[in-house]
Amino acid sequence: MIPGRGGAGGKKRGGHFKIEPFRHKVDLDPQYAEKTWKVLEDAIHEIHNHNAFGLSFEELYRNAYNMVLHKFGDRLYKGLEDTITAHLVEVSKKIDVAQGLLFLEETNKRWEDHNKSMQMIRDILMYMDRTYVNQHGKTPVHELGLKLWRDTVVRCDTIKPRLSATLLELIQKERSGETIDRALVRCITKMLMDLGTQVYCEDFERPFLEASADFYKVESQEYIASSDCPAYLKKAEQRLNEETARVSHYLDPSTETKITTVVEKELVGTQVKILVDLPNSGLVALMKDDKFDDLERMFCLFRRGGVLQGLSTMRDSMSEYLRETGKHLVLDPERIKDPVEYVQRLLDERDKMDDIIKKSFHNDKTFQHTLNQGVSEEEVEVVLDKVMMLFRYLQEKDVFEKYYKQHLAKRLLPGRSMSDDAERSLLVKAFEYFINLNPRSPEFISLFVDDKLRKGLK
């Protein structure tokens, strides 16, 4: 051991030396934090004034780094928050004095400037963001910039109501046929979404939907008083298409379902019964005149989610029409005299309704069921009597038996027969004719009985 060096770099413990780290105390200027912050504050002002080209971002980053390293993170973060807030207070004043469309233009311009400034500031304070902010549960610099813009500018007492009212006014003008600056509106609504979904919903979407409901409530009354059913349906379809396009142009996609539901409810749903029952242009008139396009338009509009009981109202009206038509044919003494014309008329009506359901109602099963149930038991019996009257004139009844058996099998096997009672009634009526031709029961009668036994229905 060299004399005189034992206590310089370590302590002897049990015959061994422990090497301790070298410590050099750094004496900071008492004004270090404030002086360094002043440099950073001045730089932030220059950034806000669009004079960032003369700044040394490397030197600014080092200053911010040293402040955090020397435990002045609190001072740095608080200074940043106060400086940005003070700047945005002045920005809000400049936005507030703008009038008309310039109000939105100024808001958008200042918003773009704010985003660019916060990007540069975040780069300078990157070390603080990674260390101090995480360790102390603070809001990151970028999110802090959004929060301060929201609270200081967008939700300023004088700006918030004007922002919503100006957007709604422009949308109202567009609905009235005027051309508006869609790109500008898109920028503002996107700004609101960038500030958070809650901001977009509370500050714009909610008042937008309320104003839209009021608008279409009034418009529905005006339309129904001046339009027939086809014209009204075309206008409703056009409005729905316009709202869908409006969302794609400048609203958030999440708004589409909400606004279309409003239109469906106020413009279509409130007028369902009136439209269906219009005497000269409602559902029955459209079916009688083979207005396939108008019927399809009604079907497509009435089945939308915001239209309550639309299709059920159509089915009820259709069912009533079928009953009245069948009753008229049954009770028409002129048609009863000619069984061939009578049955042909029924077949024509059935084919016509099948065609409507296929072309206009998209083969909807509920409408098919309504069609199948549209004739009463008494009317079925009358029809079957007329069919058997026609049957007497058939020259080749064995050929009829062959084809009838084939079609009966097609109905029974997949369970597509509309009525077991109707099938049974026809078989009973036909039996006496066939039994005279052939001493055995016709095969299609056995086919029907076997099918019922198989299903446990005797």
Residue pLDDT, tens place only, 184-230? 999 999 999 999 999 999 999 999 999 999 999 999 999 999 999 99
Per-residue model confidence as pLDDT tens digits over 244-254: 999 999 999 99
Q: What is the mean pLDDT of the chain?
A: 83
Per-residue model confidence as pLDDT tens digits over 141-164: 999 999 999 999 999 999 999 999
Report the predicted TM-score, pTM, of the whole model to 2 decimal places. Answer: 0.77
Q: Which residue has the higher pLDDT, 108 or 434?
A: 108
Confidence of residue 324 (pLDDT cuts 50, 70, 90): confident
One-letter identity of residue 334: E
Query: Distance from CA of residue 320 to its chain's centroid?
Result: 34
Tell me which DSSP letter residue 205 carries.
I
Query: How buried is residue 20: exposed, middle or buried, by Cβ count under 10 Å (0-12/13-18/19+)?
Result: exposed
Q: What is the mean pLDDT of residues 346-352?
A: 80
Considering the chain, what percentage of its residues have pLDDT values greater than 70?
72
Query: Is pLDDT of 342 > 90?
Result: no
Both tokens of residue 82?
A: 């106060």
What is the model's pLDDT at position 106? 97
What is the model's pLDDT at position 328? 77
Confidence of residue 437 (pLDDT cuts 50, 70, 90): very low
Q: Which residues contact 256 (CB under 8 A, 6 or more apart)?
A: 243, 244, 247
Confidence of residue 453 (pLDDT cuts 50, 70, 90): very low
Least confident of 2-6, 28-32, 51-55, 332-336: 2-6
What is the model's pLDDT at position 452? 47
Query: Is pLDDT of 348 > 70?
Result: yes
Task: Concatenate the DSSP letters of all residues of 48-111 into one string.
Answer: HTT-GGG--HHHHHHHHHHHHHTT-HHHHHHHHHHHHHHHHHHHHHHHHT--THHHHHHHHHHH
What is the model's pLDDT at position 322? 87
CB 166 within 8 A of CB 104: yes
CB 342 within 8 A of CB 335: yes
Produce one character per residue of 428-453: b if its CB has 16 or more CB atoms within 10 Å, e if not: eebeebbeeeeeeebbbbebbeebee
Query: Is pLDDT of 314 > 50?
Result: yes
Confidence of residue 43 (pLDDT cuts 50, 70, 90): very high
What is the model's pLDDT at position 4? 43
Per-residue model confidence as pLDDT tens digits over 70-106: 999 999 999 999 999 999 999 999 999 999 899 999 9
Per-residue model confidence as pLDDT tens digits over 375-418: 555 555 665 566 666 555 554 455 555 555 555 555 555 554 55
